[in-house]
Amino acid sequence: MRYIKIFDTTLRDGEQSPGASMNVEEKLHVARQLARLNVDVIEAGFPVASPGDFEAVRRIAEEIRGVTVAGLARAKDVDIERAAEAIKPAESGRIHTFLATDIHLKYKLRMSREEVLDAAVSAVKKARGFTDDVEFSAEDATRSDWDFLCRVTEEVIKAGAATVNIPDTVGYTIPQEFGELIEYLMNRVPNIDKAVISVHCHNDLGLAVANSLTAVLKGAGQVECTLNGIGERAGNAALEEVVMALKTRPKFFNAETGIITEEIYKTSRLVSKITGMVVQPNKAIVGANAFAHEAGIHQDGVLKERSTYEIMKPETVGIPQSKLVLGKHSGRHAFKERLRELGYELGDEELNKAFERFKRLCDQKKYIFDEDIETLVSEEVKKVPEVFSLMDLKVSSGTSVKPTATVRLKVRDEVVERTEEGDGPVDATYCAIARITETKSHLEKFEIKGITGGTDALGEVMVTLEEDGHTVRGYGSDTDIIVAAAKAYINALNKLEGRKREPQKGI
């Protein structure tokens, strides 16, 4: 099986994402994690660009072992000398020099092809004076003349380049075309076997990973990529996607990497945290939804056999387990499984009632948390025989109106409605409930809390009632806190009724 080197440029090209710049200590922190991830090459920065970039490359070269540390340089002596100085402390150092080979010649560089060829060869020879590990990149290779690109590749290999990079600098190419280009180079460059062909693809058309993988199929031996796909404009090929595609389809690619995949998620989170670039939820491999299932059919399949809807195990990328996201599309099987995980074993009737309440809650809330489910179930499990049950509640309140509540309760087999005023909506509601139930209880404590975050959070109310020496606590929850308060009061009143019916114990 062929070995594919992973060249990580998160600290160089990735950092070029607007707003993603890192200081020296942050770069060092990421580099340590990249070493744990076991990438082959860390492109630590562009030493000539700034004193900070130079220092970051030097510090990483000084500290990180077991990984090749690369510094980027234009095909200019000053750049190459600065890069050489920065990587000097490295156990294994690389100078990565680049020069455009097509459209940039006329509009940016104003050089002829012969001048470009001479400059490329000269740069590689200059870099070889400092290290045996030199990489040359033909900037914007995918828009270059193929025969001229072949000529440049042949000459820089003769000059001592151990790696030749074929970048899709502006994300212009498409997989079939890029595959044909790599194949063309492999067949037309006579000394191609003396160097590793690398690819560096951008994502302007969303094809960076697809292009990189196609190049691997055609003989590329190194892929340049970044964590979470960050980078210039639309970003680079995402390291995690390239690596896991090769790992998931080994027979198809007949290729492997040395990446310790269990470190992928941790590295992704670190990069996201340091750069402030949030990973989109539906991002492949490391997104919050990558191993999450909400649809009932999918959840049922995953619970029976994970491979039905998962092509890789989340543990292989460092995510503890798949998530069955409970929502309005979830089925009874997933709901029952989550209850079991939370420690609840319900009978069929209790389960059916809890599931009905769960579905109603799903229509009210965007996200359902374990705390929401526990509250729903605990209410169902702790439910006492209902003498009083809430049928309807309407509340009117505001800064310029007297708070009023209209409550409709079922009292045993009779439905009773009452409207009362109060100091606030809860007080008005409690006044109406007290009149209907004719309770003589005293409200000793009223507690309220949000079970989960957000404006649509499920609120929980707890009340303590006392009557004739009996003290009970009532619980109620709802996304409407007034309704939750009413449920808690009624729950406590039902408990008091139950206490009244208990036989007196003898002395």
CATH of the domain at 57: 3.20.20.70
In this prediction, residue 507 carries a pLDDT of 30
Give the list of residues 6+ apart from residue 129 with CB closer than 8 angstroms, or none.
Answer: none
Is there a contact between 420 and 473 (Cβ–Cβ < 8 Å)? Answer: no
Q: Could you tell me if residue 244 is inside a domain?
A: yes
477's tokens? 């929850």
419 has pLDDT over 50: yes
Tell me the average pLDDT across 246-274. Answer: 94
Q: What are phi and psi of 73, to 5 degrees?
A: -150, 135
Q: Over pLDDT 90: what percentage of the chain?
A: 59
**pLDDT (mean) for 241-246:** 97
Of 356, 381, 406, the residue at which a domain comes to its end is 381
HSE-CB for 356 with a 13 A CA cutoff: 7
Q: How many CB atoms lie within 10 A of CB 438?
A: 7
β-bridge partners, 129: none
Higher pLDDT, 497 or 214: 214
> Exposed/middle/buried for 449, CB within 10 Å: 0-12, 13-18, 19+?
exposed
Domain match, 424 and 392 both: yes
Residue 101's pLDDT is: 76
Residue 401 in domain:
yes
What is the C-alpha to C-alpha distance for residues 7 and 118, in angstroms, rounded to an integer? 27
Q: Quick one: DSSP state of residue 402? A: -
Same domain, 330 and 474: no
Q: At a CB cut-off of 8 Å and minimum separation 6, what does 368 contact?
A: 325, 326, 327, 358, 361, 362
Which of 294-308, 354-368, 386-400 has the largest mean confidence? 386-400
Q: Which of 68-82, 209-223, 346-360 has the lowest mean pLDDT?
A: 346-360
Q: Where are the beta strands (DSSP E) in 75-195?
A: 93-100, 134-139, 163-168
- CATH number at 465 reads 3.30.160.270
Helix (H, G, I), strand (E, B) or coil at 450: strand
Single-letter code of the amino acid located at 148: F
Give Cβ neighbours of residue 243 (< 8 Å, ≥ 6 apart): 6, 257, 259, 261, 264
Asked if the structure places residue 31 within a domain, the reply is yes
- Nearest alpha carbon to residue 372 among 483, 456, 463: 456
Scan for tokens 């408990």, then name that residue. 495
Are 341 and 245 members of one domain? no
Does pLDDT of 215 surpass 70? yes
pLDDT digits (tens, 9 = 90+) for 125-174: 999 999 999 999 999 999 999 999 999 999 999 999 999 999 999 999 99
Q: How confident is the model at residue 447 (pLDDT cuts 50, 70, 90)?
A: confident
Nearest-angstrom CA–CA distance, 112 and 475 = 81
- 335 and 362 part of one domain: yes
Which amino acid makes up residue 273? K
CA distance 141 to 138: 5
Instruction: Locate all alpha helices (DSSP H) within 10-145, ordered by sequence.
Output: 24-37, 51-63, 77-87, 103-104, 113-128
Q: What is the pTM of this model?
A: 0.67
Q: Percent of the chain at pLDDT above 70? A: 81
Whether residues 187 and 204 share a domain: the answer is: yes
Residue with tokens 């003589």: 440
Burial of 482 (0-12, 13-18, 19+ CB in 10 A): buried
Q: Provide the pLDDT for residue 386.
A: 77
Structure tokens, 359: 């579905």
Q: Tell me, what's the pLDDT at 298?
A: 47
- Asked if pLDDT for residue 262 goes beyond 50, the answer is yes
Across 76-84, average pLDDT: 97
DSSP state of 261: G
If asked whether residues 54 and 96 sit together in one domain, one would say yes
- The verdict on 42 and 184 lying in the same domain is yes
Please give the pLDDT value at position 453: 58
**345 shares a domain with 428:** no
* Residue 491 is assigned to a structural domain of this protein: yes
Q: What is the mean pLDDT of residues 384-399?
A: 88
pLDDT, tens digit, 9 for 90 and up, residues 91-102: 999 999 999 876
What is the distance of C-alpha 37 from the center of its chain? 17
Question: Domain ends where: 334, 355, 381?
Answer: 381
Q: Which domain holds residue 90?
A: 2-275
Mean pLDDT over the full length of the chain = 86
Among 130-139, 271-280, 319-328, 402-411, which is the least confidently predicted range? 319-328
Average pLDDT over residues 401-417: 94
For 375, the 3-state DSSP assignment is helix
Query: Is 71 in a helix, a strand, or coil?
Result: strand
Which range is least confidently modeled, 321-325, 425-429, 484-488? 321-325
Residues 53 and 69 in one domain: yes
Torsion, Cα 252 230 204 166, to 10 degrees, reads -60
Please name the residues in contact with 414: beta carbons below 8 A apart, sequence gap of 6 or more: none
Please name the residue that has the structure tokens 């009452």. Answer: 418
Indicate whether 284 belongs to any domain: no
CA 506, chain centre distance (Å): 63
Q: CA-to-CA distance for 418 and 435, rounded, in angstroms?
A: 8
Count structural domains, the chain: 3
Evaluate whether residue 123 is within a structural domain. yes
Question: In the predicted model, what is the mean pLDDT of residues 192-201?
Answer: 98
Q: Is residue 283 part of a domain?
A: no
Contact at 8 Å (CB) between 242 and 225?
yes
Picking from 265, 319, 266, the residue whose alpha carbon sits closest to that of residue 291 is 319
Specify the pLDDT at position 376.
Answer: 66
176 lies in the same domain as 259:
yes
How far apart CA 412 and CA 309 sit, in angstroms, is 49
pLDDT at 218 over 90: yes
Q: How far apart are CA 70 and CA 65, in angstroms?
A: 13
- Asked if the structure places residue 302 within a domain, the reply is yes
In sequence order, which residues have a C-beta less than 8 Å from that of residue 54 and are 6 or more positions away?
45, 47, 48, 82, 85, 86
Among 31-35, 126-130, 322-326, 411-415, whose mean pLDDT is lowest? 322-326
- Same domain assignment for residues 133 and 105: yes
Nearest to 59, CA basis, from 23, 95, 6, 21? 23
Of the candidates 181, 227, 204, 314, which has an alpha carbon nearest to the alpha carbon of residue 39?
A: 227
| 199 Rama sector, left if φ>0, alpha if ψ -120 to 50, beta otherwise | beta
323 and 262 together in one domain: no
With b for 16 or more beta-carbon neighbours within 10 A and e for fewer, the 56-88 pattern comes to bbbbbbbebeebbbbbbbbbbeebbbbbbbbbe
Question: For the chain, percent helix, then strand, then coil, each to nearest 5?
Answer: 45, 20, 35
Return the pLDDT at 474. 80
Domain-ending residue, one of 216, 248, 275:
275
Q: Model confidence at 441, in pLDDT bands (50, 70, 90)? A: very high
